[in-house]
Chains A and B, each alone.
Chain A
Amino acid sequence: MKNIKTTNIQKRNNPLSVSCSVPIMDHDTVQLAHGAGGRLSADLIDKIFLPRFGNETLNKLEDQATLNLPPGKLAFSTDSFVVDPIFFPGGNIGELAIYGTVNDVAMSGATPLYISVAFILEEGLPMKDLHRIVVSMEIAAEKAGVQIVTGDTKVVNKGSCDKIFINTTGIGILPEDVYISASNLQPGDKIILSGTVADHGMAVMTSREGLSFQTRVKSDTAPLNGIVKNILEITKDIRAMRDPTRGGVATTLNEFAAASNVGIQLYDSNIPVNPDVEGACEILGIDPLYVANEGKMIVVVPAYIAGDVLKAVQKVEFGKDAVIIGEVTDSHPGMVVIKTPLGANRIVDMPIGEQLPRIC
């Protein structure tokens, strides 16, 4: 693997940050009544959610959002976020919930437009934690160019969920003539990865309680729709796009190989990995190819356009470390194979489940 030091995502120089203090509430922690639809629910909406998420559609506080959509195909995606810890180096569950869904919508080639947010809160969650999450969701939505137009909040008994769960659903619009699918790969296509692997998964793992070493690893959580827009400006001839979240790059490429019934050949020395991330992976006995990313994408394009697409990806801040990591082949269909630095080939298989740190 190739070591690349990434500068972590620049936080927006946020004018809101000066007014980010937690609103004065009757309670320091979330109460069951905050989800019961009465006065406390209204208080939560008025003081925590609306000041941050508010827009013309949401402010109407209807049971649904009614939207006028531009012409084109609709892309529609949903995801639930249950990450532990809820705050981790480089991000938190809130921005993850926005970017995760924005990215899933964008991987179709769509421009993400609107998003819904549903919270499940555990009673006792500190109000300041909720506020911090909501503020970062506002910033994330703005950065990704989406509006939060509908939402819901439930509060459950202590122990019935872990602090906070968030579901987001997003919609976007893509041109009628764009058709991107995991089943489109053809031999000869090139595989582009937008940057270093494994940053998010290792940031979360190394910040979990109990790990006795510290790292400078930070999550890569970021919106990818800017990269997608850049690519679509130069070509619609895109075979497949996906953000390799859970299961990492290895899982996504295995899904591509299976769906298209083609082989994938990777080059180990091309795959970028942050040295701190690699070190943490080494200590825990974990393969970075299987670790989650939250701000990276894989795009597969025909060879003739690969160089131009690579440049388009690299123009965006979150894609500046992009590289071609491999190609599609007609040998070993359904399998991903990596060329080791010694010149041997090994299979990069689907993971069985969560990667488990090794004894020694």
Chain B
Amino acid sequence: MKYLDEFRDPVLAKNILDEIHKTVTKPWVIMEICGGQTHSIIRNGIDQVLPKEIELVHGPGCPVCVTPLEIIDKALEIASRPNVIFTSFGDMLRVPGSNKDLFMVKSEGGDVRTVYSPLEAVQIARDNPEKEVVFFAVGFETTAPGNAMAIYAASKEGLTNFSELVSHVLVPPAMETLLSSPDNRVQGYLAAGHVCTVMGWDEYEPIAENFRVPIVPTGFEPLDVLEGILLVVKQLEAGLFNVENQYLRSVKREGNRQAQTIVNTVFEVTNRKWRGIGEIPASGLTVRKEFESYNAEKKFAVENITTEESDLCISGVVLRGLKKPHECPAFGKECTPTHPLGATMVSSEGACAAYYKYQRLE
């Protein structure tokens, strides 16, 4: 398939792999930020064919995984209300809250619908003026422009029955938190290609400089990931710490200015809890005061719901790259995709689910 096959070509992949093997002389720990990259690595077996010196650790870039339990509980509370149509991307539906998930709310009679775009949720609001339509706005900088646009469009149109439950998170503050941690092992980053498509890579330069780590915005196909690893390894071996763009066909230095504008119009930066990591200052987006009537947390008065995470689950340690999923005592035993203890096992992008699905051969 055009634009896919070229980036999956096994011969070209072998060439890059050979070059990685030639370049590497000592052990390096590299983190891929994005869950989509984790998926590609595991699905294609990239970690199996890399030189043993290179250790890949899977970063916090799975939006489903880092969404805190209490936001899920808020979603469940809103979705259970009789006059609400609760809309969400598919993979949030199976994420367990404290005692149920959105599928269970649906089976109890809640009107929970999968949508493929937040603008579909706006359309549902248009079509159902007697109902309150809520969209579960989860994700990184990648999904923020679309979610912001939905609120903007609804407000332009004067729709009063649409709102979003927003739990947006931002990548750079999380990277800084990980790098500042005393037990940090990460020496180089594959930055999330689609986040950088929106935001550009300016904001990574101070991080690379301050923490002396190479950062490479990287795509998602096997050749992208392999080339990203090669670029990081070359810098590490040469003692460099630059931001270097692998994902040239999608990422521009300045990013997508229009997308940034709509995000800044509707959302503002806020402190945000990350599941398994805790609160990170200025690491999330929330709805600006001007658009407050579109903020479901306020509209449905669920701001006071707070939930503590289960202490059995080590997803936080996994998300910080300190342990591999299979090093968790509950992995594959108490915790499976059917009975997940933490969100890293729920989402198909989650590191634990990816391990469970693809790597129980050993």
Residues of B bordering A, CB below 8 Å: 1, 4-5, 8, 10, 13-14, 17, 36, 42-46, 48-49, 63-64, 89-94, 113-117, 119-120, 138-140, 142-143, 194, 222, 337-338, 347-349, 356-361
Contacts and interface: CB of A to CB of B under 8 A. Distances in A.
Contact of A359 (B14, B49, B143): B143
Contact of B49 (A344, A347, A357): A344
Given A211-B116, A342-B13, A342-B222, A356 B348 contact: yes
Contacts of A345: 45, 48, 361
A346 B114 contact: no
A160 interface: no
A1 to B, nearest CB: 9
Given A346-B45, A349-B358, 6 more contacts: A211-B116, A343-B49, A344-B49, A346-B44, A358-B349, A359-B143
Contacts, number: 107
Interface string A188-214: 000000000000000000000011100
Nearest to A287: B43
A3 interface: yes
A3 B1 contact: yes
Contacts of B360: 335, 347, 349
A279 B143 contact: no
A356 B91 contact: yes
A344 B42 CA distance: 10
Interface string A1-45: 001000000000000000000000000000000000000000000
B45 A344 contact: yes
Given A356-B93, A356-B114, A358-B348, A344 B63 contact: no
A113 B12 CA distance: 53
Contacts of A346: 42-45, 358-359
Interface size class of A (residues with CB under 8 A): 20 to 34
B138 A359 contact: yes
Contact of A341 (B13, B90, B91, B92): B13
B44 A344 contact: yes
Contacts of A210: 113, 115-116, 120
A13 B331 CA distance: 57
Interface in A318-360: 332, 335, 337, 340-347, 349, 352-353, 356-360
Contacts of A279: 1, 4
Nearest to A346: B358
Contact of B91 (A282, A340, A358): A358
Contact of B1 (A212, A278, A349, A360): A278
A341 B44 contact: yes
Interface of A: 3, 210-212, 269, 275, 278-279, 282, 284-285, 332, 335, 337, 340-347, 349, 352-353, 356-360
A360 B337 CA distance: 20
Nearest to B140: A360
A278 B93 CA distance: 24
Nearest to A352: B337
Which of A3, A352, A359 lies at the interface centre, i.e. has the most chain B CB atoms within 10 A of its CB? A359
A359 B139 contact: yes
B89 A358 contact: yes
A360 B93 contact: no
Contacts of A344: 44-46, 48-49
Contacts of A3: 1, 5
A267 to B, nearest CB: 12
B90 A278 contact: no
Contacts of A356: 90-91, 93-94, 114, 348
A347 B48 CA distance: 13
Contacts of B113: 210
A342 B44 contact: yes
Contacts of A358: 36, 89-91, 347-349
A82 to B, nearest CB: 16
A344 B349 CA distance: 20
A342 B44 CA distance: 7
Contact of B120 (A212, A340, A342, A349): A212
Contact of B4 (A282, A284, A343, A360): A282
Nearest to A349: B357
Contacts of A337: 361
Nearest to B10: A341
A358 B116 CA distance: 9
A359 B63 contact: yes
Nearest to B17: A342
Nearest to B348: A358
13 contacts: A3-B5, A212-B120, A285-B348, A335-B360, A342-B10, A342-B45, A342-B222, A344-B44, A346-B42, A346-B359, A347-B360, A352-B337, A359-B139
Contacts of B43: 340, 346
Given A279-B1, A358-B89, A342 B64 contact: no
Nearest to A285: B348
Contacts of B115: 210
Nearest to B45: A344
B238 to A, nearest CB: 26
